[in-house]
Every structure is written in C-alpha cells, then in structure tokens.
Chain A
C-alpha cells in the first residue's frame, strides 16, 4: 500500500501515452496529454506526503504540527499553470489545423503541404 500512489502516477502516465499513440482526434490527443501531466501532480504530491500530516496551513493549527511538505505543493501549482498554458496553445494549433486541412485526425495529417 505504501507504493500505491506511485503506481497510480505510473499508470496515469502510461494510459495517457496510450491515448496519445492511438488517438484519432487532435482534441482527444491534447486531453490525453492532460492525463499524462496529471501523473506528475500525483507523483509530486505523493512524494511530499507525511503520514498523518495536516495541510501546511497554520491558520487554525499550531506551528509545529506535523504537516506535509509545502515545497512540492508549490511546485504542483506551477505544474498546473504550465499545463493550462500548454493546453491552450495546443488547442489553438488544433483549431488552425482544422481550418487549414479540414481534419483533426493525426493519421490524415501525414503529407506535408505548402
């Protein structure tokens, strides 16, 4: 059980990659990339967890209470922001691909066109 959260992160990474490899729609592919990125959140938060630790917010608990690691949580926040920007840009590119080529199936985008 102590390995469970790490296994979930690996599983999310692999299942997202499977979705990307087999995708037939760019929007679906981008959402699969989101699943891949979600595995990094699980991994970061799992690394920083301390058994029985509270959230590192000392508004209503005394300083010195056993709390989980705040550094990885701040990193996760950065991670989420980066994911949001990457997804927005990729969706914009998918939109332009649809306009230019009339398809969002990656398999049909094989030929280079000027």
Chain B
C-alpha cells in the first residue's frame, strides 16, 4: 500500500469518524450541564456515609472497590507480562562484566576503554567495531550526566519519597490516593537511579524487592476484601471503624486499600522501569551478531 493511498484512505475514514463522533456528541447534554444521578448522590452522601472527604477515592476504593481490584490486577498482569517479554532470550546473556562494571561508573568507563583496546580475541574484526559502536551507543557503560543533575537528583530523593507517602496516605482526605502516590514513590526510586549515576538497576537490585511489594499489594487487597467476609459482611465491604471526618485514620478500609494499592503501584512501576534499564546489560541477540543495515 503506497503512502499516498494510505493517507487518502485515512482521510476518508477520519472524515466519516469525525462526522459520526460530532453527531453523537451533539446529542449529549451541553457542556457544564451534566445530570448524572450517581455522582450527585455520592457528592452528598459520601462524607456522612464513609467519613471520606475525597469522593473520588471513596468511589475507587469503596463503592467501586471490586472494579479497582480488577484495575490493580491489570497493572499486576502487565508488569509480569513485561518481565516475560523482556526476559533473557535464548541467544542473549547477561554480560557479567557489564553488570559488575555497572556498579561503579568510574571503573566501568575505564574498563570499557581498556577493554575495547585490549580485548581483540573476544570481539575481533567486524564484531570489534560493532562492540565499539555498541559501547558508544550505550554511553560506554557510563552515564554522561551533568553534575547539576546528579546533585539535584540526590537532593530530591528524600522530598519525593515523603511526598509519595503523603499522597498515598491522604488519599481519603485530599486529592491523591494509592495510584497517584504509588507513581510518585516509583519516581523516587528512578531518582535514586538517576542521581546514583548507575548505568543499570542490577547493582541496587530493586527487582526482588519490587516483586515482593507487588505481591504484597495484590494479595493485600484481596486479603482486606476477604476480611470483610470474615467480619460477617460482604466481600470488600467497609468493616473497619470509620473514625472522625478529616483525620488521617478515617474512612475505614478506604485508607487501608489505598495504601495497599500505593505499595502495589510503586512495586509494579519500579519493576517496569528496572526491566527496561536492565536491557542494557543483555548482550547477544540477532542485532549484535548480524550487523544492522545502515539506515
């Protein structure tokens, strides 16, 4: 299919789609005049019924708690799927040298420089230039990070961690909750990576911890749900004391579920990021044995 033909096909399709969408959207209540019943009811009853002031968090972790369990497991399954997709392939292996070099950026760059010059038998000829290209492309096992970024990153790790914990634990009171705070917590881990000058996640080994956090997050959510059954109520019903409106430990299981989800999200995102970063440690595969065609 030629590019021109594809574009003209898209133009026709897009025009039809736009017309249909605009026609459909014109039938909606005008912007600003929404009359949803559920939202209106929840806006009025959540504070008295659940002692939570953030209605959105109350919906996510209480009224729609079962859906959020599914949502959490989507994230869980996706991170496991990502680990499977990015696993070591048959013709790849983790370069032990790179992995150990990755621990210390200074030594790593030295080793890379001397290694390229003094290791002709491992690479040799065509592959030798390939390896050098590889080394240059991969930053020569060294992050060319400016000192300003390193300093700022190191300074930010603590505050970002505190902010993440704050957002996770205050989800029932103010904007935030497990999903949002979990992402901020994972950002703190990424900052450790950036500010540490590490070229790979392997030396700080977050993968095992991240997997454990994920398991705790996913299992904990179900466990709190089952605890509702044990308390003689329904699955995922809010069986804990509701506390005082506006206090940190208010709104019963909403707070616990939000915190558990925060742990899960932080674990899952850390796992995802470290899997991507650790790809740098893999050598072999078709792209290394067959030189790429120049583009």
Residues of B within 8 Å of A14, CB to CB, are: 14, 17-18
Q: Is B133 an interface residue (CB 8 A)?
A: no
- Least CB separation from B173: chain A residue: A59
Given contacts A63-B44, A69-B39, contact A49 B290 (CB under 8 A): no
Given contacts A14-B18, A77-B56, A91-B276, contact A99 B89 (CB under 8 A): yes
Q: Pick the interface stretch among B73-81, B110-118, B192-200, B211-219.
A: B73-81
Q: Is A67 an interface residue (CB 8 A)?
A: yes
Question: Number of contacting residues on B, CB 8 A?
Answer: 62
Determine the main DSSP class of B at the interface with A: helix
Which residue from B6, B60, B82 sits with its C-beta under 8 Å from A92? B82
- Least CB separation from A73: chain B residue: B56
Mark interface residues in A86-109 (1 if CB within 8 Å of B CB, else 0): 101101110110111111000000
Q: Which of A49-87 contact B (CB under 8 A)?
A: 49-52, 55-59, 63-64, 67-74, 77-78, 80-82, 84-86
Nearest-CB distance from A70 to chain B (Å)?
Answer: 4
Q: How far is the CA of A84 from the CA of B46 in the complex (A)?
A: 29
Residues of B within 8 Å of A1, CB to CB, are: 31
Q: How far is the CA of A43 from the CA of B34 in the complex (A)?
A: 13
Given contacts A14-B18, A56-B43, contact A71 B279 (CB under 8 A): no
Q: Is there contact, CB below 8 Å, between B287 and A99?
A: yes
Which residue from A50, A64, A71, A85 sits with its C-beta under 8 Å from B42? A71
- CB within 8 Å of B: which residues of A? 1-7, 9-10, 13-14, 17-18, 21-22, 43, 46-52, 55-59, 63-64, 67-74, 77-78, 80-82, 84-86, 88-89, 91-93, 95-96, 98-103
Given A85-B74, A86-B78, A102-B287, 10 additional A-B pairs, CB 8 A: A3-B25, A55-B175, A56-B55, A57-B55, A58-B55, A89-B78, A92-B81, A92-B86, A92-B275, A100-B287
Sample (11) of A-B pairs whose CB atoms are under 8 Å apart: A4-B31, A48-B34, A56-B56, A69-B39, A70-B59, A71-B39, A71-B59, A73-B56, A99-B89, A100-B287, A102-B286
